[in-house]
Amino acid sequence: MSTNKKALRADALLFIVAIVWGTGFIVVKDTLHDISPLFLLAIRFTLSTIILSVIFYRKIKLLKMTDLKAGFIIGFCLFGGYALQTVGLKYTSPSNSGFLTATNVVIVPFIVWLIYREPPKINVFIASFLTLMGIGLISLNISLSIGLGDFLTILGAVFFASHVVSVGKYTKKIDAVVLTFSQFLFASVLFILSAFTLETVPTTINSKVTYSILYQVVIITIIGYLIQNYAQKHTSSSHTSIILSMEALFAMILDVVFLNGALSYRMIGGGALILIAVLIIELNYFDNTNKI
């Protein structure tokens, strides 16, 4: 398969991940009414780790020290991103959370620039700027201030940006299943430690939370990250972050449809700008050898 065809297939897979992750904001927001954020994440990533270890035992038993090192770095970024995003989601809407998480698309090119000493292409700067404008339209209130939930979500976006760049660095060398398992392993340990330190242990988990956790584990976490780690072998970190930012659009749509979220002209305008940014990247992206 040619490089361009592999890149296009990777784009399609990442687009599917963006749709799946867009549903995650709605599912998690609803679940947080019944369970605290860190315990939800601890259960989610622990179960994901166990399931992966059972299904892919033959691959995982061959883990090397380099795989564990990569897993620790990526897992730490994953932990920081999800911890801040999920706690922030208690204090903001799924729409805001989705679009503010998408600010990682602006951060990724600059982290890559810092690491590789190679500036992004001009279309990446343009797309990042349009995305930032779109996010501003979505999240800033009349006084141009940002609430606690939005602030935590933006901090989480920095970790998610670091996660995308870290995956881009290691996925070319490490099997996608091994990389997914190792990052889940370390993230789950960090979530367990932080949950027992900072939160009260839940005494009961109702059936609604159980079904929600199963969806988050199987669909959003295991399948979502396996696809991302595979697809990112054939595309760049900046390109990945642009496509995955589409999750914000799906989060907004689902928020309006299922949670009666408010839909304003500003939200529509912001979403349109992010969509234009994605198209700019897609229409200009043909050089798959670029690091960024």
Q: What is the pLDDT along the chain (292 residues), one digit of tens a residue?
A: 566 677 788 888 998 999 998 888 888 988 998 999 999 999 999 999 999 999 999 999 888 999 999 999 999 999 999 999 999 988 888 877 887 887 787 788 788 888 877 787 788 788 878 877 887 776 666 555 667 888 899 899 999 999 989 988 898 889 989 999 999 999 999 999 999 999 999 888 899 999 999 999 999 999 999 998 888 888 777 778 778 878 877 887 877 777 676 667 877 888 788 778 767 766 664 444 444 4
Is 128 within a domain?
A: yes
Please list, in sequence order, all residues whose beta carbon lies within 8 angstroms of the beta carbon of residue 40, skipping any fewer than 6 positions away.
28, 31, 32, 86, 213
Q: What per-residue confidence (pLDDT) applies to 292?
A: 46
Q: What per-residue confidence (pLDDT) applies to 290?
A: 45
For residue 94, what are the domain limits? 3-284
Is 291 within a domain?
A: no
Residue 155 burial (CB count, 10 A) = 16
How is 107-156 classified by DSSP, letter by letter? HHHHHHHHHH--PPPHHHHHHHHHHHHHHHHHH--TTS---HHHHHHHHH
Residue 94 in tokens: 């799924």
State the DSSP H helix or E strand holding residue 230, giving kind and residue range, or none if neither: helix 224-231
DSSP state of 264: -
180 φ, ψ to 5°? -65, -45
Q: How many helices (H) and strands (E) does the chain have?
A: 14, 0
Is 194 within a domain?
A: yes
Residue 130 near residue 277 (C-beta atoms within 8 A):
yes
Q: What per-residue confidence (pLDDT) applies to 287?
A: 44
Conformation bin of residue 142: beta by default, left when phi > 0, alpha when psi is -120 to 50: alpha
Taking the C-alpha atoms of residue 231 and residue 105, their distance in angstroms, rounded to an integer, is: 17
Q: What per-residue confidence (pLDDT) applies to 288?
A: 42
Strands (E), the chain: none
The model's pTM is: 0.83
Is 137 within a domain?
A: yes
Taking the C-alpha atoms of residue 161 and residue 84, their distance in angstroms, rounded to an integer, is: 13
Is 292 within a domain?
A: no
Is 143 within a domain?
A: yes
- Tell me how many domains the chain contains: 1
Residue 150 burial (CB count, 10 A) = 22
Q: What per-residue confidence (pLDDT) applies to 75?
A: 96
Is 94 within a domain?
A: yes
86 φ, ψ to 5°? -70, -40
Q: What per-residue confidence (pLDDT) applies to 143?
A: 55
Taking the C-alpha atoms of residue 146 and residue 142, their distance in angstroms, rounded to an integer, is: 10
Q: What per-residue confidence (pLDDT) applies to 2?
A: 60
Q: What per-residue confidence (pLDDT) applies to 234?
A: 81
Is 290 within a domain?
A: no
